[in-house]
Amino acid sequence: MAILCTFALSSALSVGLSIRSASRAQHHAAVLQIAARQRTLAERYVGEVVIAREGGRSDPASVAADLTRSAGVLLDGGAAPSVNGDDDGIAVPGQKGALARRQLAQAQRLVRDLTATGSAMLSHEPLARVQITAGERLPANPRLRMRVLAALTSNVSLNAARTIANADDRNISSLINLQIVLGVGSLLLSLLLGWALIRTAHRQTAHFRSLVSSSTDLVIVFGLGGCRYVSGSVSRMTGRTEQELLAEGVFDVVHEDDRDIVRAASTTGEPRELVFRISDASGASRQLEAHVSDLRAERQIRGIVFNARDITERLQLEQELTRQAFHDGLTALPNRALFRDRLDHALTRARRAGESLAVLLVDLDGFKQVNDSLGHDAGDALLQEVAGRFDSLVRTSDTVARFGGDEFAVLLEDADEHQAVRSADRLLAGLGEPITVAGRELVLGASIGIVTASGGSESAEALIRDADIAMYAAKEAGRGHHKLFQHEMARELGELLGIEHELRLALERGEFSLHYQPLIDLLSSEVVGVEALLRWTSPSRGNVPPSRFIAIAERTGLIVELGAFALREACTQAVRWRDQLSVAEPPVTWVNVSAKQLSAGGFLGTTRRILKETGLPPERLGIEITESALVEPGIAGDRARAELEALHRDGVRIAIDDFGTGFSSLGQLRHFPIDVIKIDQSFVQGAQNDSKDATITSNLISLAHALNVVAVAEGIESGAQLHALRQFGCDHAQGYLFARPQPADEVGKLLARSSIDVDGSASATA
């Protein structure tokens, strides 16, 4: 009986030990399976966030919940969520091993960091606000950070699973040894239970191999004699069978430059992290990131394990993001950030070597007109052609960058002022060659600012600023100029910006007004028109002459807004005079229009709108332009002339102001629809004493009559000048002899009389 009891007890103990061994093996497999699912959930969450960020349909919140729940189950126990909806949930108890719990707690923190980063990306919050709890050093790029966190989550979970599996294996070994000690009497039963245990272990091992073979990770195990095992994913990627890859075969697909380091890691287990290249089935190179584990002491493996992932697409994405961050998307040239970085390094080298360098800032002339008239596609094509030309005109050691719009920058290393000026000349000459865009040949100009540094304490930002100031000075000099930076340019720019600011405030505060000067018919003495003249009364500067602020308004672009104000005010006043004087046809009101105002575009629409809103007939409005506006080259000039011709067809009159001082040709005058030629006062005032001025004035009047237009003499101040102009047959005149520019009320009184005693004025000043 005692023997039977002992045998029964031994049998019971053996059965109990076998059951516990099987349970630990099942626990081993379950943990591995949950860890594998953890990897799948992490990768899926990254993909869901990216799709949602790009506007696609996805549910990152649901995946995040499953991922968080799965991490908690691994640590504290419970039922893990399914992944694909058709697999069963897996239940495991909480982990008790200190090392495994630390690893799983870290995995849980990584999941928390991953989902927090994903939430920040979806809500467009800066990553700086995301509190990192796992203590890992992470990249600043949101997508890259999520991929790194997903990879870390997977690796830490699998490492924890391996720790648990190792503990289970040790427990199983101890239990088997204890079974042998139970005695010979229970040998048969122990063998039977051992067989059952081995069968269970084989099933779990087969399940583990199934998980490894279906994973996207590449697993390679090295031992004595080379490669002992490769996962199916390695065979699928390389297009070779497992037998072809075993032993030394796996090294045939490793890039020849990486074979030595891979071979060293396969024999020593170092380094623990490794990036190497292999050839895929098509012969293309793929980048692998491998975690190397030295498991030669592990009885189940006894080898060095490479757990690798294909990171080719991730590296390509990183390279593309870097390229986009530092290069212009249209021209592929370096952008401002990369130019600034290269300039910083060039300054450091120049200081060390005692050399000089130069920065050129280039602004294209007329690019806006190309965009407005031919469209943005044509403008983009033009910028690409200009970028190519600039890049071909500098040395390979120099840098050409696009700052945005039509602004380019050039960095010339080891170059002095003379070399910088020659480079600027080459750039301008390169632009002088016609460029064909949208079926049209265009010739561009540019304004170039040049600044040099000779190894002093100059900063990159200061050099770019000074080059910009010099470029502004070049634009002031006209198309196709370059200027070297001078310190007085900064002072002039400061003054210019100050007046520009005051001009803007003056428009808002209503500090501008119009004075009017009459035009007199020299035969009838009637007032046939008034010229509107802009006046600025500044609280700080007093009465500012037009010669002081008109040029600045043109430089800064304020002339468009200022000109529109003058046009509206003049038209409104003309209608007011018409109503006050009760006349059907009041004198023509003449308004000066700048060439800059015309070239900016939109003048036709502005004028038509103002005429409609004020109710002034087009025939009662006159536009005075200079010869420079008439001969403006390029697309802007063509558009300006077309708009003036359209206004003339509407009935608006056109006058050429300051005639004789410009460069218009007779052909242009003959074909352009003008009504009046206003002879510049420099000829008129010299006509009484200088025979050359008298001849020029007489010929200009004759030219006007030959063109069948009215001749108007400007700036008449004496009776002698009036007498000479009458002798020459001049039609109309204006000047201080008849009336100075006056406010609208005073001119209204003059218009009420409808005429001026021309001869009385002449005798009074004779």
What is the pLDDT confidence band of residue 211, given thresholds at 50, 70 and 90? Answer: very low
Please report which helix (H) or strand (E) contains residue 501, including its range: helix 487-509
pLDDT, tens digit, 9 for 90 and up, residues 442-460: 888 899 999 999 866 778 9
Helix 559-581 crosses helix 487-509 at what angle (to 10 degrees)?
Answer: 30
* Cα torsion 25, 28, 31, 32: sign: negative
In order, the DSSP letters of 534-572 are: EEEEETTTEEE-HHHHHHHHHHHTTHHHHHHHHHHHHHH
DSSP state of 250: G
Mean predicted lDDT score pLDDT of the chain: 83
Helix (DSSP H) and strand (DSSP E) numbers for the chain: 27, 23
Query: Given pLDDT bands bounded at 50, 70 and 90, which one contains residue 172?
Result: low
Residue 717: CB atoms within 10 A of its CB come to 15
DSSP H or E run through 533: strand 527-538
pLDDT number for residue 209: 53
d(CA 119, CA 63): 12
pLDDT confidence tier of residue 291, bands split at 50, 70 and 90: very high
The residue count for the chain: 766
Nearest alpha-carbon partner for 74 in 151, 156, 136: 156
Handedness of CA 642, 644, 650, 654 (dihedral sign): negative
Q: Which residue has the tokens 């865009």?
A: 437
Task: Report the amino acid identity of residue 334.
Answer: P
The per-residue DSSP string of 206-247 comes to: HHHHHHHHHSSSEEEEEETTEEEEE-HHHHHHHT--HHHHTB
Please report which helix (H) or strand (E) contains residue 446, including its range.
strand 445-453
Burial class (CB in 10 A: 0-12, 13-18, 19+), 131: exposed
DSSP per position, 191-206 = HHHHHHHHHHHHHHHH
Say how far apart CA 547 and CA 499 lie, in whole Å: 13
Q: Which residues lie across from 626 on neighbouring strands? A: 657
Q: What is the pLDDT of residue 531?
A: 97
Cα-to-chain-centroid distance, residue 260:
44
Q: Which of 180, 146, 161 is nearest to 52 (CA)?
A: 146
Question: What's residue 753's pLDDT?
Answer: 82
CA atoms of 504 and 483, how far apart (whole Å): 28
DSSP characters over 603-668 = HHHHHHHHHHHHT--GGGEEEEEEHHHHT--HHHHHHHHHHHHHHHHHT-EEEEEEETSS---HHH
Q: Which pLDDT tens digit goes with each residue over 297-342? A: 887 788 999 999 999 888 888 877 777 778 888 999 999 989 999 9
Distance in angstroms (rounded) separating the CA atoms of residues 764 and 757: 11
Q: Are 367 and 475 in contact (CB under 8 A)?
A: no
Strands 357-365 and 407-413 come out as antiparallel
What pLDDT was estimated at residue 83?
64
Share of the chain above pLDDT 90, in %: 35
| SS3 of residue 88 by DSSP | coil
The arithmetic mean of pLDDT across residues 391-404, rounded, is 93
Q: Mean pLDDT over residues 706-725, rounded? A: 91
**Per-residue pLDDT reduced to its tens digit, 473-492:** 888 777 789 999 988 877 76
Residue 314 · residue 144 · CB < 8 Å: yes
Task: Determine the pLDDT at residue 106.
Answer: 81
Question: pLDDT (tens digit, 9 = 90+) per residue, 640-693?
Answer: 888 999 999 999 999 998 776 554 556 667 778 899 999 888 888 877 777 888
Say if residue 212's pLDDT is above 60.
Answer: no
The secondary structure of 687-744 as a DSSP string is TTT-HHHHHHHHHHHHHHHHTT-EEEE----SHHHHHHHHHHT--EE-STTT---B-H
Say what percent of the chain tops pLDDT 70. Answer: 85
* pLDDT of res. 175: 63
Burial class (CB in 10 A: 0-12, 13-18, 19+), 188: exposed
Q: Tell the burial category of 613 from Cβ atoms under 10 Å away from its Cβ (0-12, 13-18, 19+).
A: exposed
Q: Does 374 score more than 70 pLDDT?
A: yes
- Name the most confidently modeled range: 130-134, 593-597, 644-648: 644-648
pLDDT tier, 32 (very low <50, low <70, confident <90, very high otherwise)? confident
Residue 87 pLDDT more than 90? no
**Residue reference for tokens 């699928």:** 236
Name the one residue in this structure whose structure tokens are 């010869």: 627
DSSP letter (8 states) at residue 582 = T
Determine how many CB atoms are found less than 10 A away from the CB of residue 674.
Answer: 24
Q: Which residue has the tokens 């401002």?
A: 336
* Cα(218)–Cα(301) distance, integer angstroms: 16
Residues facing residue 435 across a β-bridge: 442
**Can you tell me the distance from the alpha carbon of 31 to that of 97, in angstroms, rounded to the nearest whole number?**
13
Chain segment 515-560, per-residue pLDDT in tens: 999 999 999 999 999 999 999 999 888 898 888 888 788 877 889 9
Token pair recorded at residue 216: 């996207």
Rounded to a whole number, what is the largest CA-CA distance in the chain?
160
